[in-house]
Structure 1
Amino acid sequence: IGLNNLDFHYPNRQEVQVLKNFNLTIEPHKQIALVGSSGCGKSTIVQLLERFYDPTHGQIVS
């Protein structure tokens, strides 16, 4: 799975950019952990992976 150059803001809060030029590659059969402070975008990344939202820019490759 690859997240390539993702930008994202929530539709109802377009003035707040949550992710900017975010990249992540998850290799097959590997486990990862998303760790960070509150509000840094961890849940947003999971929601993008689950296709609850589409990125503003960039692509998700599965």
Structure 2
Amino acid sequence: MIANLIKDIRSDAKKLVETLTALNNHLSDLEKFTKSVGELTKEIKEMNENIRLLMSIIKELK
């Protein structure tokens, strides 16, 4: 009886480790994606600022 209980606990622990490993992998992928989105957002902000500067220069040339 106790041996079966220990066997079940080991089996459940193994499943838990597998699930946590898969979750960790998904979180790592999400972290990479989030970092990429953050970098793109920064680049878009810089482009918008450059466009504003160009517009100011063009207005001054008129």
- The higher-RCO structure (CA 8 Å, 6+ apart) is 1
Q: TM-score, normalised by structure 1?
A: 0.22
More helix by share: 2
